[in-house]
Amino acid sequence: MDFFIQLLVNGVSIGFLYGLAAMGFVMIFKSSSVLNFAHGELMALGAFIFLVMIGWAGLPVYLAFPLALVGCFALGFVVERIFLRPLIGEPLIYVIMLTVGLASMFKGVMLFIWGGNLYTFPDFLPAGLAIQWRSINIPPVYVMSIAIGITFLILFGLFFKYSSQGIYMRSVADNQPAALSLGVHVRKVFALSWAIAALVAGMSGIVLGIINGINVHDLSSIGLKVFPVVILGGLDSIGGAVIGGIIIGLLETFTGGYLSTSLRDVIPYMALVFILMVKPYGLFGLVEIERV
């Protein structure tokens, strides 16, 4: 029973991380309906920026973390400006193939600079964050990831519901020409959504890096694991991303715990095929109704 509960707790914690990673992905999809295949690489870039800040520049954590996030935000702007802006109005398939290209480009750069080695952050989280209850043990970093996940979930919920920028983003996603004709600054919306998405991606990369250490290959494979998560939760639902993340995280840890460890990495994709067959718009996704 304790094993079961420990698996449950692990699953939920890992699931929160997946949810966190998926949030940035949903951000981009919500505002531009682009599937971003470079998401894992953005996460890894964020983690490496943080690594440079605390390792090479020797900044204290409370300074390095916000600076790394600012760096990611700027990176998102730059990526959008150089690579995505020229493709506004082009067929979506080109944009998606561009993100596939960006993914290998970033990966190449990171492998070139840092190699395929595993880097770890110095341990800086206070041990007091850990939760110990009977035989169940939640390490501090998971507590932090859950806290960050919930904070951002609320922030994004409010952002899309009440702020004018959030409403612009939703309108652009819904119908780009109509939004343009109503005076929404589509280019600004795209730039902002990529910047925010890069920020969220970088943050989840940092959190994942604290847990597992950072390695280009691992983080980019987690970037692809975002797909089962968002398909399950619904491609355009941020709350769905978190819940989808938790379900996929649980599925993974239980498969790893009870069935086999090698099946662990592939089970999310099996679930993905199943979801596409049974409930293609996911749990909370908006069902598209086409009128011709």
Partner 1 sequence: MRKLHFHPCGNFNERYEQELTIFETDFGRASLLIGLFILFAVVPYISGPYLLYIFNMIAITSIAAIGLNILTGFTGQLSLGHGAFIGVGAYAAAILSTKAGFPFILAVPAAGLITALVGILFGLPSGRLKGLYLTIATLAGQFIIEYLLIHWESLTEGTMGIVLPGTSIFGIALDSDRSFFYIAFISLIIMTLLAVNIMRTRYGRAFIAIRDNDRAAEGMGIPIFPYKLLSFGISSFYAGIAGALMAYYMISITTEPFNLGLSVEYIAMIIIGGLGSVAGAIYGAIFITGLNEGLRWLTDILMGIDILSSIGISMAPLREFAFGTAIVLFILLEPRGLAEVWRIIRSNFRLWPFSY
Q: What residues make contact with partner 1 under the rule CB under 8 A?
A: 35, 37, 83, 86-87, 90-94, 96-98, 100-112, 116, 224, 227-228, 231, 262-263, 265-266, 269-270, 272-273, 276-277, 280-281, 290, 292
Instruction: Give min distance, CB of 201 to partner 1, in A.
Output: 18
Q: Select 166 or 285, whichever has its Cβ closest to partner 1.
A: 285
Q: Select 62 or 94, whichever has its Cβ closest to partner 1.
A: 94
The torsion angle over the Cα atoms of residues 226, 230, 236 and 241, rounded to 10 degrees, is -90
Instruction: Give min distance, CB of 1 to partner 1, in A.
Output: 30
Environment class of 47 (CB within 10 Å of its CB; exposed 0-12, middle 13-18, buried 19+): buried
Instruction: Give min distance, CB of 64 to partner 1, in A.
Output: 26
172 CB-side CA count, 13 A: 29
Q: Select 53 or 216, whichever has its Cβ closest to partner 1.
A: 216
Q: Select 127 or 277, whichever has its Cβ closest to partner 1.
A: 277
In contact, 63 and 52? CB cutoff 8 Å = no
Instruction: Give min distance, CB of 6 to partner 1, in A.
Output: 26
In contact, 207 and 145? CB cutoff 8 Å = yes
DSSP SS3 for 162: helix
Instruction: Give min distance, CB of 283 to partner 1, in A.
Output: 15
Q: Select 54 or 272, whichever has its Cβ closest to partner 1.
A: 272
Q: Select 147 or 266, whichever has its Cβ closest to partner 1.
A: 266
Cα–Cα distance for residue pair 152/133, rounded to 1 Å? 26
Environment class of 174 (CB within 10 Å of its CB; exposed 0-12, middle 13-18, buried 19+): middle
In contact, 225 and 247? CB cutoff 8 Å = no
253 CB-side CA count, 13 A: 20
Residue 118 dihedral angles phi and psi, to the nearest 5°: -95, 125
Instruction: Give min distance, CB of 81 to partner 1, in A.
Output: 12
